[in-house]
Chains A and B, each alone.
Chain A
Amino acid sequence: MMNFDYVRPASVADAIAAGSEKGASYLASGTNLLDLMKGGVSRPSRLVDVTRLPGLDRIEHLADGSLRIGALVRNADLAHDADFARNYPAVAEALLSGASAQLRNAATVGGNLMQRTRCAYFYDAGSACNRRWPGAGCDALKGENRLHAVLGWSEGCIATHPSDFCVPLVAFDAVVEIEGKSGRRELPLEALHCLPGDAPERETALERGDLIVALRLPAAAKNFAGHARYVKVRERTSYAFAVVSAAASLRIEDGRIREARLALGGVAAKPWRAREAEQVLTGAAPDVAVYREAARAALAEAKPSGDNAFKIELAQRIMVRALTLAARGTPDRIPALPGSPFSSVAGA
């Protein structure tokens, strides 16, 4: 690990001043950043420790019915907050299907949003990677790429975004609150992560010095609490990143789907909102035939980026499964293996 200066500012304003300097990086719990620094992938010359900043560790219910989650709230605390799990069960299920209990105890909401891709070629400082080194090329294109992107990729980069948490969040129109050099601004979560295009090194819409201070879930997200699931397929039963995942939330009235929210994980460089599929479902009776049609619509533009054509079929099946489970109703208690097809619990 390259050496660095360590600073621990006492206010958000001081943090932004320190974080705006060249080579600076914000440090929250560090579960991703320290790993990247140990591998020489991230080489910040200064770490700005934001873990003691006041007021960023709260969950607040706002007057307009929305929920404001401070960037320093730990993943485990959010997932186990009784109100949160009741109102946003698919988000709690996604949180609990990510990483391990130890990592969820440490990892923060803001840090989860800022996770880097887990592409093995990005992680290996000896491989060519356009994200790490613009113009270097992409060793994943001709390498082991069965887990890589099938939507929104480019010849420059076929990496995927690893977060589970972000998948239902993007379906619920979550908003990111950012403090920066020019004050406070907001960004839809859907606009935070960038598709690679011809500039894969630009991973997010954040500018130098920008600090995520909170995440907001609009009031409408609660309308789906009765029919919301997150289903994740992994290469082992637990403690692995998604091969493919799907968040499905439905508002069902009088036997019809009045509104649907859908997103996929593990398929692209960002959590992938499936709006075409939502349109297919709106107004339809909940039925597997219409789920299949919706899933086809969601993957209509998908293309293999290598040895991963199976993911296009798998993503459709996982979306149908998530819709089937969501229509059946949110379980009282999240299964032991959240949303896993391998769970032995009935209804998982």
Chain B
Amino acid sequence: MNLPLSLTINGVRREIVLDDPRVTLLDLLRERLDLTGTKKGCDRGQCGACTILVDGRRINSCLALAVSHDGAEITTIEGVGRGGELHPVQAAFIAHDGFQCGFCTPGQIMSGIGMIQEGQAGDDPERVRECMSGNLCRCGAYQGITEAVLEAQSNMTATKQRRSA
């Protein structure tokens, strides 16, 4: 069974032919397109390490069949920086020690970017923790993660205001 699909991944359109319908977006990215920044943690939608943006929304790529997402626009951790410049959420994770081993970090950062776009948390750390609860960190870097997301959000809002002023 040959299943053709077209995806725009980090701004680049890719024509893909799958030979197996079981391939998840996660496995497509990691095993077939060499985009290994997105991590496979539990592979069952329980840890958030595989978080990516699909059409601008954060989802668990381990629970998404690639073939069902024909035509989608996908952003992974490889696509968030501009040239040599880090995305503000990436920079804030470094500034606030939002990680220890780093395995969950790409998922945390993609989730943080998605959360800021959703605009539901405001500057309340409790809301940030709740909105980020789909991303587990077994090193327990939660305090740094919360601070990083809050700071990135405030920096991004300030930049946006400066641009529109």
> Does A pair with B?
yes
Residues of chain A at the chain B interface (Cβ within 8 Å): 1, 3-6, 8, 27, 29-31, 34-35, 38-39, 47, 49, 51, 76, 80, 99-103, 105-106, 237-239, 336-337, 343-345
Per-residue CB contact flags for chain B residues 59-71 toward chain A (1 = under 8 Å, else 0) read: 1100111011000
Cβ contact within 8 Å between B68 and A51 = yes
> Are B65 and A34 in touch, CB under 8 angstroms?
yes
Distance, CA A6 to CA B3, complexed state (A): 9
**Does the CB pair B57–A34 fall under 8 Å?**
no
Whether B58 sits at the interface, judged by CB under 8 Å, is yes
| Most interface-central of A1, A99, A100 (chain B CB within 10 A) | A100
B6 at the interface (CB under 8 A from A): no
Q: Is the CB of B48 closer than 8 A to any CB of chain A?
A: yes
Bound complex: CA A161 to CA B58 (Å): 26
Q: Does any Cβ of A come within 8 Å of B10's Cβ?
A: no
Q: Looking at the assembled complex, report how far the CB atom of B129 sits from the nearest CB atom of chain A, in whole angstroms.
A: 7
B20-A3 in contact (CB<8A): yes
Q: Give the contacting residue for A106; candidates B1, B63, B118; CB below 8 A.
A: B63
- For chain B, the bracket of interface size reads 35 or more
Instruction: Count A-B contacts at CB 8 Å.
Output: 98
Chain B, 106-165, CB within 8 A of any chain A CB? 111, 114-115, 118, 120, 124, 126-127, 129-135
Q: Pick the contact of A102: B24, B51, B65 (CB < 8 A).
A: B51
Q: How far is the CA of A336 from the CA of B129 in the complex (A)?
A: 9
Q: A30-B63, A34-B63, A336-B126 are in contact. Are A103 and B114 (CB under 8 A)?
A: no
* CB-based contact A101/B124 at 8 Å: no
B22 at the interface (CB under 8 A from A): yes
Are the CB atoms of A38 and B44 closer together than 8 Å?
A: yes
Closest B residue, CB atoms, query A340: B130
- In the complex, the chain A residue whose C-beta lies closest to that of B115 is A101
In the complex, what residues of A have CB within 8 A of residue B133's CB?
100-101, 237-239
Q: Say if the beta carbon of B43 comes within 8 Å of chain A.
A: yes
Min CB gap B59→A, angstroms: 5
A101 touches B58 (CB 8 A): yes
A106 touches B43 (CB 8 A): no
**Nearest A residue to B118 by beta-carbon distance?**
A101
Residue from A39, A105, A239, A336 within 8 A of B124 (CB atoms): A336
- Chain B contacts for A3, CB-based, 8 A: 20-22
25 contacts between A and B (CB under 8 A): A5-B21, A6-B67, A29-B63, A30-B63, A34-B63, A34-B65, A47-B21, A49-B65, A51-B68, A80-B118, A80-B120, A99-B134, A100-B48, A100-B135, A101-B132, A102-B45, A102-B48, A106-B57, A238-B129, A238-B133, A239-B133, A239-B134, A336-B129, A344-B126, A345-B126
Given A27-B68, A336-B127, A336-B130, the answer on whether A38 and B43 have CB atoms closer than 8 Å is: yes
